Structure 1
Amino acid sequence: MDLATSMAPTPAQAFDTLLQRHRGIVRKVAGSYARGAEDRADLAQEIAMQLWRAWPDYDPSRSFSTWMYRIALNTAISFLRGQSRRQDSVPLDDHIDSLAGGAAFDPETHERLRLLQRFMATLGALDRALLLLYLEERSGREIAEVLGIGESNVTTRIGRLKQRLRDFAGASPRP
């Protein structure tokens, strides 16, 4: 074994490095699909476990973040289906903070994020995933690849979601 080979990262080290670099994806997906801090932590752990299980099949010639989103969203959707169907309110304040990565917001921006979170809670799993990826400024091509739908379908659905959000915002009571 030569020096270069002995210094190469193990598959576990390579996985851990990429997971840490893109941990915001796990946090955002878990925050968008789980209720309460405990459920978000459980879902984040489940996503990490599913990513590790799928790691041997990862193709390094493809985008890691796209691969990661696909697995994270599929795991979240399965998690959501496994949860009870009750419509409890989502504890928004700590969820907004987790989505923001701890950044502080002015009251108007905070209220807009609360409105967006309430809107997302009304969406089905596919539309929620679509909106999350759109808000992450992913390209239509990448969204289509992650969700397994056509690019024109992505464009159409985003347009409809924007209109629904405008309607929702107009119908929501102001504080």
Structure 2
Amino acid sequence: MRSETSEKMRAQKNDAYFEEIIEKNKYKLYRICSIYAVNPIEPEDLFQDVIFQIWKSLEHFKGTSTIDTFVYKIALNVCMRSKMKFEKTNDKTDRFQSIHFTPIENEIDASEQEKFRFLKECISTLNETDTSLIVLYLDDLSYKKIAEITGFSENHIAVKMKRIRKKLFECIAPKIK
């Protein structure tokens, strides 16, 4: 009886901790998913997959990094895996481009949506490593935090980011005119 009660309390504590982590990081996670997936529905599916993988992996979190770093790593891995899987079956898959979904709470003016679309198009031309770096950078993470998540050195991140920003500027500048 006593072990059953303590097990329930531990499960409730874990559920509360999981919910707290997701609530804290949900917007960041969704942004990452929206970079790796095609709108309108795919980011939501990918987001659910990321949340599920975080839930499954949470018991393996050892605390050697921050929980945010742990969550970012999972999100990037799930998104990159999903993108690779899609690219393998791309010629066999039809996308539903005609379905348009705009969450009411996140309405953005048309010019901002267009700029985001241009940025997303340019990001999609980058390789996997550069894409993951720019996604983390756009979430306002420091080079130190990006290095911790990716395993690269801070100096390497700085050099890569300078090159990535240049590529993105060259890509997006003609589109924004």
State the TM-score, normalizing by the size of structure 2: 0.78
Q: Deviations over 1:92-112 (max 9, x none)?
A: xx69x67xx7152362x3332
Pair 1:145 & 2:171 matched: no
Letter in 1 for 2:170: D
Letter in 2 for 1:31: S
State the TM-score, normalizing by the size of structure 1: 0.79
In the alignment, which of 106, 114, 117 is matched to residue 111 of structure 1? 114
Task: Check 1:110–1:90 CA distance in 2 against 1; reply closer, same or farther (3 A cut).
Answer: farther
Count of aligned pairs = 166
Letter in 2 for 1:21: K
2:58 aligns with 55
2:157 aligns with 154
In the alignment, which of 28, 32, 38 is matched to residue 35 of structure 2? 32
Give unmatched runs, 5+ long, in structure 1: none
Q: Calculate the aligned-residue CA RMSD, in Å.
A: 3.1
Give unmatched runs, 5+ long, in structure 2: none
Q: Deviations over 1:101-156 (max 9, x none)?
A: 7152362x333222211111111222111111111110101001111211111101
Pair 1:127 & 2:126 matched: no
> Which SS does the other structure have where 1:122 is aligned?
coil
- Equivalents in 2 of 1:24, 1:62: separation in Å? 21
- Equivalents in 1 of 2:62, 2:24: separation in Å? 18
Percent of aligned pairs with the same amino acid: 21
- Equivalents in 1 of 2:110, 2:86: separation in Å? 33
